[in-house]
Amino acid sequence: MSINSTFPSYKSEGWDKLSDSTLLKPGGVTEPFSIDALHLTIPKEKVNEKIRILDIAAGVGNLSIPASIEFPNSEIVATDYSKGMVDSLKIILEYNKIKNVSTQVVDGQNMVDIESESFDYCFSMFGLIYFPDRLAGMKEMYRVLKSNNSSCTSIGSWQPNAFLPLLLEKSYEQFNGGKKLQSKQPALSLDDKHLFKSELEQAGFKNVVIHSVKHLIKFNDLNPFLSPKNPIVDDFFKLIGDENIDRFKETFITIANSLYPKDENGYFTTEWNCFIGIGEK
Ligand SMILES: C[S@@+](CC[C@H](N)C(=O)[O-])C[C@H]1O[C@@H](n2cnc3c(N)ncnc32)[C@H](O)[C@@H]1O
């Protein structure tokens, strides 16, 4: 399936809109997966070492912030191509007096200001999946890692049954009389384990392992998931057109209610599934 690079989630302006909202916040949906990625990628014995970590497409720091706490002597560089995201992250770092994370506005597909062979670990949690040229991003990760036989890259991608991408796709299909999406939604661009592994290998990584991780997320209101400020959602709103957004939202809510029954306290419990792909340089 081809990519449609006009999707809002392929553009930095799309993510700027999300940066000042509460939808992507420290401690949000992506944080538990980032903590898993840290544990799967960095050996425990490195906990007090002075390692250098690069967080690519860092958003508001759901990997960088836990990393700064778990690896207090590390030096973390959090990058994102959305200036809005980087500005929000700077405020969070200052407010929480986090000293070992610095920030930079960088496009992960072409990290001109990041020196080659300068990091021990490189992460991109649910960020590289939105690069129109993922392979360029992976090759950049390879370039900036040290050649020391222990450096690794670690990438998070959603699986096809992750709650929000799954519901958006199902709603689109139902809305469109059963017709499937013509191009892959960016949020699911790396939802195939074999493709994921082969792209990491093409970028030069060895001993690639794709882990499967899931977390249960509880919430009682579906509306925040349907905000056009979220470019993942806006991808679909642009496809169906403004005049159909209300009807699309109704379809989404009906499907959610049928797939995820609420508990006695009115909470949905949903499963979010992700792959964490790790490769050694
Ligand atoms: C879903 S958010 C994930 C943020 C964070 N990694 C997390 O897990 O919470 C996706 C992020 O990828 C960033 N992004 C997308 N394409 C990018 C690119 N080409 N270069 C750098 N950042 C990019 C967006 O600006 C956004 O902050």
The CATH code of the domain that includes 203 is 3.40.50.150
Residue 242: inside a domain, yes or no? no
Identify the domain containing residue 129 by its residue range: 8-159+187-216+274-280
The predicted structure's pLDDT at residue 224 = 84
- From the CA of 24, give the closest atom in ligand 1: 9
**21: amino acid identity, one letter:** S
Q: What is the CA(137)–ligand 1 centre distance, in A? A: 12
In a domain, 35, yes or no: yes
User: For ligand 1, which residues put their CB under 6 angstroms from it?
Assistant: 12, 15, 24, 30, 34, 57-59, 62-63, 80-82, 85, 107-109, 125-127, 130-131
For ligand 1, the distance from its centroid to the CA atom of residue 126, given in whole angstroms, is: 7
Please check the confidence at residue 223 and state whether its pLDDT lies above 70.
yes
Q: Record the tokens describing residue 209, joined without a space.
A: 């392992």
Q: What is the mean pLDDT of residues 210-217?
A: 94
Q: Is residue 1 part of a domain?
A: no
Amino acid letter, residue 154: S
Instruction: Say if residues 190 and 67 touch (Cβ distance below 8 Å).
Output: no
Model confidence, pTM: 0.94
Q: What is the pLDDT at residue 273?
A: 94
What is the chain's mean pLDDT, rounded?
92
* Inter-helix orientation angle 134-144/193-202, to 10°: 50
C-alpha angle 95/101/104, rounded to 5°? Answer: 100
Distance 85 CA to ligand 1 centre (A): 8
Residue with tokens 């690896």: 71
Confidence at residue 2, expressed as pLDDT on a 0 to 100 scale = 53
Q: Given the CA of residue 85, which atom of ligand 1 is nearest to it?
A: 27
**Structural domain includes residue 236:** no
15 pLDDT higher than 70 = yes
Enclosing H/E stretch for 257: helix 245-259
pLDDT at residue 204 is higher than 60: yes
Residue 66 lies inside a defined structural domain of this protein: yes
| Domain count along the chain | 1
The protein residue with its alpha carbon nearest to ligand 1, atom 1, reads: 126
Tell me which of 133 and 3 has the higher pLDDT. Answer: 133
CB neighbour list of residue 141: distance below 8 Å, 6 or more residues apart? 54, 56, 122, 124, 153, 155, 203
**Candidate of 80, 101, 188, 215 to mutate for ligand 1, largest count of ligand atoms within 8 Å of Cβ:** 80
Q: Which atom of ligand 1 is nearest to the CA of 137?
A: 19
- Least confident range of 9-13, 22-26, 95-99, 163-167: 22-26
Mutate to test the pocket of ligand 1, among 77, 85, 232, 275 (most ligand atoms within 8 A of CB): 85
Calpha distance 51→72 (Å, rounded): 10
Q: Does residue 44 form part of some domain?
A: yes
Which residue lies with its CA nearest to atom 4 of ligand 1?
A: 59
The alpha carbon of 68 and the centre of ligand 1 are apart by a number of angstroms equal to: 19
Question: Does residue 19 carry a pLDDT above 70?
Answer: no
pLDDT at 1 over 60: no
State the pLDDT at residue 3: 55
**Whole-angstrom Cα distance, residue 205 to residue 278?**
9
- 246 domain-assigned: no
Does residue 20 have a pLDDT over 70?
no
For residue 261, the model assigns a pLDDT of 80
Question: Is position 245 within any domain?
Answer: no
